Amino acid sequence: MANRMVNNKEVNMKRNYPPSYYKYREKNPTISVKLTKNTKDALDKARGKMSYSEFLKSLFAPNGIFIRFERQRAQLASERAALEKERGELAKIEHFTIPCSTCGKSLFFKRKNEKYWNERIKPRLEEAFSDYHHVPYCGGTT
């Protein structure tokens, strides 16, 4: 009699499994993955002494790498949004520093009261620095 290749599906359909088998298979599905030799070696190195199942479960555990990446991504997104908001607010602020005539430490001036800034401070600053220009000379009007 010649060897005949049997389709697994046909065999499974011919066998009678108890209902518990189907419940187990539904709750614990099997996955099959084809890997290159290099990828399998890297996977084996990463999992250490854990089984493949334990290693994959550990990735998605509450403290697993994917969960940590998701938390980190969310945190970075919120920090980026906060920095963008702050940068937008800072772009609106006009400020400058000059050394104190007594101690030499920097004095920081910024626009808090816009009316006072525009009527008193800004015109004096423009007048005080009207003779200054870029070095080398930028070619603007003096």
Model pTM?
Answer: 0.37
Confidence of residue 36 (pLDDT cuts 50, 70, 90): very high
Percent of the chain with pLDDT over 70: 77
Lookup: tokens for 61: 């555990």
Bridge partners of 106? 99
In this predicted structure, the answer to whether residue 98 has a pLDDT above a threshold of 90 is: no
Q: Domain ranges in the chain?
A: 94-142
Q: Which helix (H) or strand (E) holds 59?
A: helix 52-60
Answer whether residue 87 shows pLDDT above 80.
Answer: yes
